[in-house]
């Protein structure tokens, strides 16, 4: 399709140029400058990561003496092998694989937990008439006001007193305490025509049937979109895991980054290659999801914030 | 046999607004009754209370022999066709029609027979496995009808079901719904804001305005003997001409810019009245006589089957409907308002006098 | 609210139970705790605490390092917000205009959204590294003796640049979808009425994009206040020393490293108030946006 388009475009622009060259020229320049801007922008976003990736394929001495590398080296497999399978850290009890697994547990656990809990809550708020509905609404939506960061210390103390430090529960559940998901679902449910619940009621569907037969199937794309956003959000958590997990067996990749830094500071020749390999692995799953499910992701992101 | 009795039903919303003041309405078995009125008049509220989608503040509604006030919509043995059809977008046409039966625990072969019978009746057999999004507006309308029919309910409720269709399809569906309803012999309540739909479809019309039933009657009664100035002006297109006047207590009404009109009956009130005449009852004459007024043609609107003559009497717009044969000499025209065609309303209460 | 709702004595409460219990335990309790302890002075071992009223707040506001941190946070937020919004707007407007390769550009410009701030920080400090960083090398060739972690300004420069880089994609996505939300007919009418592309942008497109822009403004301020924690922590390698930090980082620093619970809580409460103001603002805008559409 693009090839025929291009040839047609070229043909028409050349004929037009013959007719009125003075007019056609500035138009063409603006297209060129548009592409130039976008290419520079794309390179700006892309180059740091490319440099990181290429550097991850060299041995540390090369990087140490020659700076970041812009060519592919021959240590790629070795660096990724070391990063993923050789235990590191202070206690030598954690390797990249373990951290990768923990990241998936956090990302998926957070996304799934958030979707289930917030869907149920939003269902109650939008589709039921009950006393305290307004109170429940405000209790939940006030949480949108304050990010975890401003109540991080007391949150830590509470999780500690509940004995949840260095557990997956303690890692995941407090992060769910913000109502973003509930807010998304509430907005979405409100956009579903009233007549649908009315038709369902006349058709004899009660609250449970309506939820499973009508609401969940209708929410499929929304659920997918929120899953992507929440997975990325959970995967990328840093501050909370940093405080919560001191036991290296519970480290996520993103949490492990600060441990890499420690190694950096201590050694004569830092493990550039391994560090970059871990960084690449830490970004790969969320980046792939966002790129492959771009349409859902963008839709979810843009619509949910309305 | 399903008759519906609505007895002094009232609706007040939690915020205190009264959507419907106490209203009563009796509907006989097999009757097709149309609730008509402008938006916000309470017609949809009444329909939704009958369906059980809205709480009843006061009064009772019975369907058949049961008072249904406290019954769930699903228990009222009704079916409803919604304005935007409310088809479940993720289900096929077949599943849409079968869903209500399935929830009632009907057996699979039973459902299959019911659905295919309804599909045949509505000529939608070939779409049964499509999704609603793959259908045209008219086809969706049929599916919505089908979903109502399969249930074999004792009462049909229609909430402006044709307002999303184009004009041609609307005319066609109007007739089809009526035919179907006669064939199935199911009592039906139909809400619309379109007075043409009301006139053409109804056995009986209830005209509502600002939460009150203004008049209940056959289309002919409503049209020819409107009980209030509201009914008179709401029903009929082009609308009835209304002129302000004063009753002189003596068989005549003084109308500004027109003079004295003779009327065919004595009125009980004295004082201000409003005089209405339907455009088609206005006669165009070439010479002055009793009950005539000289007019100037502002605009002649060609309708094909006739013409509409637009003019002004004083500052009030006035329309006369003419047939095609009627010759018009534009210099010398008089509008004749026959006494027996005049509708008289109390200017204060708006009621017919 | 829906016109038609279910009524049930049990269901709504059952459905709300999980969310409400999490919210109460992990939101209201810690928030209340933060507010409470901001009025108390706790000894470093946590054995006892005394009520000191507003002393913690007074101490905070009067401390020169807090004032300096607040000042730096403002500068940091303004720069990050402005440059990430401006760059994203330029890219979005351009991407909305090109016909060929539009979807490729879109992907290339948004994928960085998925990278965690500390990972961005890690890549950033490699690029800005005093020994191996290509950017540092470039700065030295133009005569700027760039020293990450040593020179306050240089460290701030790296932190801000990395934070901007990380935030461009979100802004780009929202601006682009805002642009695509402007009806074609309006753009066509504008192109008939006004020949200059630039003028058309400032008089038609930009005002129509204003609700998106305002919404993003709040998002970006929140981002630069809170989400940049990971970038800053990694750039500082966990050891701020003499380098500038933001308010959130200071809450963490004083509370965890300094063990000044009261002071840290007082800072949290100040931040809470700040976010509250921002959010009220934002809610207003959300209402308007819903109203528009």
Tokens 């809990």 sit on residue:
A117
Residues in C touching B48 (Cβ below 8 Å): 3-4
Q: Is the pLDDT of residue A22 over 60?
A: no
Domain of B186 in residue numbering reads as 4-232
Of B62-66, B203-207, C267-271, minimum mean pLDDT range: C267-271
Of A169-173, B26-30, C171-175, C257-261, minimum mean pLDDT range: C257-261
Does one domain contain both B197 and B87?
A: yes
Q: Please state whether beta strands B259-262 and B343-346 pair in parallel, antiparallel, or not at all (unpaired).
A: unpaired
pLDDT tens, B304-318? 888 999 999 988 999
Residues in C touching A242 (Cβ below 8 Å): 233
Residue B123 is assigned to a structural domain of this protein: yes
Does one domain contain both B103 and B135?
A: yes
Residues in C touching A144 (Cβ below 8 Å): 279
Residue B351 is assigned to a structural domain of this protein: no
Distance CA A42, CA C250 (A): 34
Residue A90 is assigned to a structural domain of this protein: no
Q: Do you know the residue count of chain A?
A: 306
Q: In the structure encoding, which two tokens stand for residue C244, read together?
A: 């500038």
Percentage of residues in chain B having pLDDT higher than 70: 99
pLDDT tens, B61-114? 999 989 999 998 999 999 999 998 999 999 999 999 999 999 989 999 999 999
Per-residue confidence (pLDDT) for residue C287, from 0 to 100: 62
Does one domain contain both A194 and A242?
A: yes
Phi and psi angles of residue A226, each rounded to the nearest 5 degrees, phi first: -70, -35
pLDDT tens, B218-257? 999 999 999 999 999 999 889 999 999 998 877 788 888 8
Does one domain contain both B147 and B244?
A: no
Which burial class, exposed, middle or buried, applies to A242 when counting CB atoms under 10 A from its CB (0-12, 13-18, 19+)?
buried
Q: How does residue A73 score in pLDDT terms, banded at 50, 70 and 90?
A: confident
CATH number, domain containing residue B51: 3.40.50.300
Please give the radius of gyration of chain A, using alpha carbons only, rounded to the nearest integer: 26
A265 close to C (CB below 8 A):
yes
C93 close to A (CB below 8 A):
no
Residues in A touching B85 (Cβ below 8 Å): 195
Residue at a domain's end among B210, B232, B254: B232
> Domain residue spans in chain C?
55-288
Q: What SS3 class is residue C256?
A: helix
Q: Which residue of C has its CA nearest to A6?
A: C100
Does one domain contain both A33 and A171?
A: no
> Are C171 and C85 within 8 A, CB to CB?
yes
Residue at a domain's end among A62, A85, A108: A85
Could you tell me which of B98, B183, B99, B97 has the C-alpha nearest to residue B143? B97
Question: What integer is the mean pLDDT of A264-291?
Answer: 83
Helices B43-51 and A194-202, packing angle to 10 deg: 40
B350 close to A (CB below 8 A):
no
Residue at a domain's end among B232, B248, B279: B232
Helix, strand, coil proportions of chain C in percent (round to 5)?
75, 0, 20
Per-residue confidence (pLDDT) for residue B80, from 0 to 100: 94
Phi and psi angles of residue B267, each rounded to the nearest 5 degrees, phi first: -105, 150
Does one domain contain both A150 and A278?
A: yes
Q: Please state whether beta strands B18-27 and B283-285 pair in parallel, antiparallel, or not at all (unpaired).
A: unpaired
- Write the CB contacts of C2 (distance below 8 Å, at least 6 apart in sequence): A126, A127, A190, A194, A197
Q: Which residues of chain A are at the B interface, by a Cβ-Cβ cutoff of 8 Å? A: 193, 195-196, 198-205, 209, 213-214, 217-218, 220
CATH 1.20.1250.20 fits C55-288, yes or no: no
Per-residue confidence (pLDDT) for residue C95, from 0 to 100: 94
A103 close to C (CB below 8 A):
no
Residue B146 is assigned to a structural domain of this protein: yes
Handedness of CA C175, C181, C186, C187 (dihedral sign): positive
Per-residue confidence (pLDDT) for residue A4, from 0 to 100: 36
- The distance of Cα B283 from the centroid of its chain, to the nearest Å, equals 28
Per-residue confidence (pLDDT) for residue A268, from 0 to 100: 62
pLDDT tens, A87-134? 766 556 678 889 999 999 999 999 999 999 999 999 999 999 888 888
Does one domain contain both A144 and A254?
A: yes
C64 close to B (CB below 8 A):
no
Does one domain contain both B249 and B220?
A: no
Whether A214 sits inside 8 A of B88 (CB atoms) is yes
pLDDT tens, C169-182? 999 999 999 999 88
pLDDT tens, C240-266? 888 899 999 998 888 887 777 788 888
Tokens 């579903």 sit on residue:
A192
Per-residue confidence (pLDDT) for residue A270, from 0 to 100: 72
Q: How does residue A267 score in pLDDT terms, banded at 50, 70 and 90?
A: low
In C137-196, the residues whose Cβ lies within 8 Å of chain A are 137, 165, 168-170, 173-174, 177
> Are A185 and A118 within 8 A, CB to CB?
yes
The tally of domains found in chain B comes to 2
> Are B337 and B277 within 8 A, CB to CB?
yes
Query: How many residue pairs bridge chain B and chain C with CB atoms within 8 Å of each other?
Result: 6
Q: Is the pLDDT of residue A242 over 80?
A: yes
B331 vs C75 pLDDT, higher one: C75
Does one domain contain both A51 and A107?
A: no
Query: How many residue pairs bridge chain A and chain C with CB atoms within 8 Å of each other?
Result: 306
Residues in B touching C4 (Cβ below 8 Å): 48, 53-54
CATH number, domain containing residue A192: 1.10.3720.10
Q: How does residue A280 score in pLDDT terms, banded at 50, 70 and 90?
A: very high
Of A5-9, A48-52, B19-23, C78-82, minimum mean pLDDT range: A5-9
Q: What SS3 class is residue A193?
A: coil
Distance CA A242, CA A258 (A): 8
Residue A163 is assigned to a structural domain of this protein: yes
Whether A195 sits inside 8 A of B79 (CB atoms) is no
Does one domain contain both B293 and B267?
A: yes
The tally of domains found in chain A comes to 2
Does one domain contain both A137 and A234?
A: yes
Q: How does residue A46 score in pLDDT terms, banded at 50, 70 and 90?
A: very high
Residues in B touching A204 (Cβ below 8 Å): 74, 100, 103-104
What ipTM, to 2 d.p.?
Answer: 0.89
Whether B103 sits inside 8 A of A204 (CB atoms) is yes
Q: Is the pLDDT of residue C191 over 70?
A: yes
Could you tell me which of C35, C50, C254, C30 has the C-alpha nearest to residue A162? C30
Residues in B touching C3 (Cβ below 8 Å): 48, 53-54
Q: How does residue B288 score in pLDDT terms, banded at 50, 70 and 90?
A: confident
- Write the CB contacts of C255 (distance below 8 Å, at least 6 apart in sequence): A152, A153, C261, C264, C265
A218 close to C (CB below 8 A):
no
Does one domain contain both A212 and A81?
A: no
Does one domain contain both B158 and B285?
A: no
Whether C226 sits inside 8 A of A149 (CB atoms) is yes
Question: What integer is the mean pLDDT of B5-17?
Answer: 93
> Are A40 and A57 within 8 A, CB to CB?
no
pLDDT tens, A248-258? 889 999 988 77
Please provide the average confidence, as pLDDT, over all residues in chain A. 84
> Are B340 and B263 within 8 A, CB to CB?
no
Among partner residues B53, B88, B147, which is closest to A201 by beta-carbon distance? B53
> Are C276 and A145 within 8 A, CB to CB?
yes
Does one domain contain both B14 and B143?
A: yes
Does one domain contain both B257 and B224?
A: no
Residue at a domain's end among A63, A85, A107: A85
Per-residue confidence (pLDDT) for residue C38, from 0 to 100: 85
Q: Do you know the residue count of chain B?
A: 353
Distance CA A297, CA A303 (A): 10
All partners of chain A with 3 or more CB pairs under 8 angstroms = B, C
> Are A276 and A80 within 8 A, CB to CB?
no
Q: Is the pLDDT of residue A271 over 90?
A: no
Per-residue confidence (pLDDT) for residue C157, from 0 to 100: 96
Does one domain contain both B300 and B209?
A: no
C100 close to B (CB below 8 A):
no
Residue at a domain's end among B189, B215, B232: B232
Does one domain contain both A31 and A168?
A: no
Residues in A touching C229 (Cβ below 8 Å): 149, 238-239
Q: In the structure encoding, which two tokens stand for residue A181, read together?
A: 């998901």
Does one domain contain both A70 and A138?
A: no
Question: What integer is the mean pLDDT of B195-215?
Answer: 95
The distance of B233 to chain C (nearest Cα, Å) reads: 31
Distance CA A155, CA A149 (A): 9
Does one domain contain both A49 and A107?
A: no
Q: Which residue of A has its CA nearest to B48?
A: A198
Does one domain contain both A164 and A300?
A: yes
Domain of A62 in residue numbering reads as 2-14+24-85
- Beta bridge mates, B336: B283, B292
């Amino acid at each position: 399709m693009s090839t025929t388009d291009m040839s047609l475009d070229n043909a028409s622009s050349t004929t037009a140029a013959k007719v009125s060259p003075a007019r056609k020229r500035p138009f063409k320049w603006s297209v060129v400058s548009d592409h130039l801007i976008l290419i520079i922008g794309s390179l700006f976003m892309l180059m740091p990561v490319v440099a990181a990736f290429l550097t991850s394929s060299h041995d540390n001495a090369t990087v140490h003496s020659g700076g970041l590398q812009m060519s592919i080296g021959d240590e790629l497999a070795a660096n990724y092998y070391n990063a993923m399978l050789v235990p590191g850290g202070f206690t030598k009890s954690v390797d990249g694989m373990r951290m990768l697994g923990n990241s998936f547990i956090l990302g998926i656990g957070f996304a799934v937990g958030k979707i289930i809990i917030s869907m149920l809550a939003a269902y109650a708020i939008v589709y039921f008439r009950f006393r305290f509905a307004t109170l429940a609404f405000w209790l939940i939506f006030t949480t949108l006001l304050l990010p975890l960061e401003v109540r991080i210390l007391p949150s830590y103390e509470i999780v500690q007193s509940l004995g949840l430090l260095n557990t997956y529960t303690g890692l995941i559940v407090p992060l769910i305490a913000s109502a973003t998901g509930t807010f998304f679902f509430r907005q979405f449910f409100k956009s579903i025509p009233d007549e649908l619940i009315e038709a369902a009621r006349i058709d004899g569907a009660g609250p449970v049937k309506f939820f499973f037969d009508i609401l969940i199937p209708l929410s499929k794309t929304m659920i997918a979109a929120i899953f992507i956003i929440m997975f990325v959000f959970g995967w990328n958590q840093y501050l909370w895991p940093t405080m919560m997990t001191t036991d290296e067996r519970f480290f996520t990749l993103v949490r492990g980054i600060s441990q890499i830094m420690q190694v950096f500071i201590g050694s004569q020749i830092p493990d550039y290659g391994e560090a970059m390999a871990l960084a690449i692995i830490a970004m790969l799953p969320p980046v792939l999801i966002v790129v492959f499910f771009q349409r859902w992701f963008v839709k979810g992101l843009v619509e949910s914030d309305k | 046999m399903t008759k519906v009795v609505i007895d002094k039903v009232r609706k007040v919303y939690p915020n205190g607004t009264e959507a419907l003041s106490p209203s009563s309405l009796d509907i006989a078995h097999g009757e097709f009754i149309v609730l008509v009125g402008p938006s916000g008049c309470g017609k949809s509220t009444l329909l939704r209370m009958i369906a059980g989608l809205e709480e009843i503040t006061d009064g009772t509604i019975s369907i058949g022999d049961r008072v249904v006030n406290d019954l769930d919509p699903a228990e009222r043995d009704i079916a409803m066709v919604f304005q935007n059809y409310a088809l479940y977008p993720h289900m096929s046409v077949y599943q849409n029609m079968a869903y209500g039966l399935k929830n009632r625990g009907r057996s699979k072969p039973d459902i299959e027979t019911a659905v295919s019978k309804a599909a045949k009746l509505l000529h939608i057999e070939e779409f049964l496995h499509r999704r609603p999004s793959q259908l045209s507006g008219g086809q969706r309308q049929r599916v919505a009808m089908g979903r109502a029919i399969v249930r074999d309910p004792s009462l049909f409720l229609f909430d402006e079901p044709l307002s999303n269709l184009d004009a041609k399809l609307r005319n066609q569906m109007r007739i089809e719904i009526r035919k179907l309803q006669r064939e199935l012999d199911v009592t039906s309540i139909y809400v619309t804001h379109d007075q043409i739909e009301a006139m053409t479809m109804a056995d009986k019309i209830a005209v509502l305005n600002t939460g009150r039933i203004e008049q209940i009657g056959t289309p002919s009664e409503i049209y020819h003997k409107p009980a209030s100035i509201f009914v008179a002006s709401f029903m009929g297109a082009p609308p009835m001409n209304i002129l302000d006047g004063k009753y002189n207590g003596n068989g005549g009404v003084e109308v500004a810019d027109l003079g004295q009109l003779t009327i065919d009956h004595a009125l009980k009130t004295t004082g201000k009245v409003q005089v209405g005449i339907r455009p088609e009852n206005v006669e165009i004459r070439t010479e002055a006589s009793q009950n005539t007024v000289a007019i100037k043609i502002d605009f002649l609107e060609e309708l094909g089957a006739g013409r509409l003559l637009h003019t002004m009497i004083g500052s009030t717009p006035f329309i006369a409907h003419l047939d095609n044969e009627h010759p018009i000499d534009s210099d010398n025209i008089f509008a004749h308002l026959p006494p027996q065609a005049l509708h008289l309303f109390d200017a204060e209460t708006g009621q017919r006098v | 609210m829906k016109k038609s709702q279910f009524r049930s004595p049990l269901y709504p409460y059952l459905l709300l139970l999980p969310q409400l219990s999490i919210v109460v335990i992990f939101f209201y309790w810690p928030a209340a705790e933060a507010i409470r302890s901001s009025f108390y002075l706790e000894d470093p071992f946590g054995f006892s605490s005394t009520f000191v009223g507003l002393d913690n707040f007074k101490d905070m506001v009067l401390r020169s390092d807090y004032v300096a941190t607040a000042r730096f946070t403002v500068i940091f937020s303004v720069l990050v917000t402005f440059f990430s919004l401006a760059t994203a707007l330029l890219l979005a407007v351009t991407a909305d205009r090109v016909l060929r390769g539009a979807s490729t550009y879109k992907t290339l410009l948004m994928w960085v959204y998925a990278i965690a701030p500390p990972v961005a920080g890690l890549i950033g400090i490699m690029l800005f590294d005093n020994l191996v960083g290509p950017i540092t090398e470039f700065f030295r060739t133009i005569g700027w003796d760039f020293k990450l972690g040593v020179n306050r300004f240089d460290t701030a420069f790296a932190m801000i640049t990395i934070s901007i880089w990380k935030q461009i994609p979100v802004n780009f996505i929202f601006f682009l979808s805002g642009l695509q939300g402007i009806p074609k007919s309006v753009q066509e009418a504008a192109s008939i009425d006004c020949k200059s592309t630039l003028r058309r942008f400032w008089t038609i497109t930009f005002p129509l994009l204003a609700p998106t822009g305002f919404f993003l403004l709040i998002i970006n301020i929140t981002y630069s206040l809170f989400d940049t924690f990971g970038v800053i922590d990694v750039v500082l390698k966990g050891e701020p020393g003499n380098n500038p930090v933001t308010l959130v980082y200071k809450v963490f620093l004083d509370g965890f490293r300094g063990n000044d619970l009261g002071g840290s809580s007082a800072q949290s409460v100040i931040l809470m108030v700040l976010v509250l103001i921002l959010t009220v603002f934002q809610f207003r805008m959300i209402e308007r946006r819903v109203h528009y559409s």
